[in-house]
Amino acid sequence: MAYAFQTRIELECADGFYPRSDLSTYQSDDFDLRLGDLHYRDVREYAVGRNTSAGWQERLDATNDPLPVTRVWTDFLPQQEVERVVPARSDGVEFGMEALARAAVSGAEAVSAALDSLPELYAEWRRSQEGLMTGLAPRRLKTGQALLENVDTAGSRIRDGIDLLKRDTMAREAFGLMNTAMAMANRRREAVIQKKLPGDVDPPTWRPFQLAFVLLNLVGVTDRNSGEREIVDLLFFRPAAARRKHILDLPPMRLCRGGSADLACWVRASASSCATRYACSRRWSRLRARTPADP
C-alpha cells in the first residue's frame, strides 16, 4: 500500500530541461548566506518537488562539458553521494603527534624544522583560491575578498603560534605534553578498534586543519593581554573522535601560563580541565539526544 501513495512521475525532453539558479541570497546582508551563495554558485536546479523531492541525471561529454539534462523525476527517498576528503600531506611539515612531542623536547630548532613550512603551504593554497575569483559577479567578488582576508589573518596567527613555541620554553613544554597525551589516547583507541597492542598501531597524526587550529590559538590561550582573546574560533566537524581531540588539546596550552612554578601542579589542573570539558561535552550530547525537536 505504501507504493500506491508514492508513485513516481518522470518527464523526458530530448532538448533538455532549462536549469535554474538560486539567487535568493545574492543580495543578502547576512554574511553566512552570501558565503553559501558563493560556494554553491555553480549548482543548478532542474526540477522542484511538492511534498516530495525531485531528481535528475547530470552527464558530461568526452571533454567534461555538461550535457543537457533530458530526464527529471519525483523522488521520495533522494540520495546523494558525498566524496570522502583525504587530508593533504607534505614532507616539509611534521604531523605526527609523537614526533612533535620529541621536537618540543629537543628545542626551538627542532620545532622550527617541524612546523615552519606549514604557513607557507597555507599561503600557497591561498594563492590557488585567489585564482578562482576571476569572473565572479561583483557581490560574490566582495565575499571572496573577505574570505581571503580571513585566510591572511589565520595564516598570520598560525605563524605567531609557531614563533611562540620557538621562544617560550613553557609553551613548548606544554605543547609537547599535549602531543604526548593525545598520542597515548589515540594509540589506545586504535588498539581497541584494530585489536592490537597500542605499540603495534601506526603512529597517530594530526590532520592539517587540526594542527593549524591548535597553532593559531596558542597566542590567545597563553597571553592574557592578547587581542586574540576576543576571537571565538568555531571548528565544526562531525566525527566524535575528532571533536574529542579539540576538547582535550588546548587546555594544557591555556594553563601553561597559569602562574604555577610546579609543573606537576598545572599538569593535574590541565587533566581536571580536560575532564571537565569532556564531561560537559558528553552531558550536552545526552541532553541534545533527549530533545524531541532536535533536527
DSSP sequence for 84-142? PPPPP--TTS--BHHHHHHHHHH-HHHHHHHHTHHHHHHHHHHHHHHGGGTT--HHHHH
pTM equals 0.76
- What share of the chain in percent tops pLDDT 70? 78
Q: With bands split at pLDDT 50, 70 and 90, how would you rate the model's confidence at 272?
A: very low
Q: With bands split at pLDDT 50, 70 and 90, how would you rate the model's confidence at 13?
A: very high
Query: Kindly report the CA angle at 262 between 274 and 254, in degrees rounded to 5?
Result: 35
Q: State how far the alpha carbon of 48 is from the alpha carbons of 13, 54, 105, in Å.
A: 16, 6, 60
Q: Which residue has the higher pLDDT, 144 or 284?
A: 144
Q: With bands split at pLDDT 50, 70 and 90, how would you rate the model's confidence at 237?
A: low
Q: How many residues in total does the chain contain?
A: 295
Distance CA 273, CA 219 (A): 19
* Residue 50 in this model has a pLDDT that exceeds 90: no
Kindly report the number of other CB atoms within 10 A of residue 264's CB atom: 8
Position 284 scores a pLDDT of: 42
Position 108 scores a pLDDT of: 96
Q: What's the whole-number mean pLDDT along residues 280-285?
A: 45
- Amino acid at residue number 115: L
* Residue 100 in this model has a pLDDT that exceeds 70: yes
Distance CA 258, CA 241 (A): 28
Residue 279's closest CA among 247, 251, 249, 254?
247
Q: Assign 3-state DSSP to the chain and report helix, strand, coil percentages, each to 5.
A: 55, 5, 35
Q: Which residue has the higher pLDDT, 38 or 244?
A: 38
Q: What is the pLDDT of residues 170-210, one digit of tens each?
A: 999 999 999 998 999 999 999 999 999 999 999 999 999 89
Residue 168's closest CA among 47, 285, 256, 61?
256
* Residue 249 in this model has a pLDDT that exceeds 60: no
Position 294 scores a pLDDT of: 40
Say how far residue 129 (Cα) sits from the centre of its chain: 17
* Residue 87 in this model has a pLDDT that exceeds 60: yes
Q: With bands split at pLDDT 50, 70 and 90, how would you rate the model's confidence at 88?
A: confident
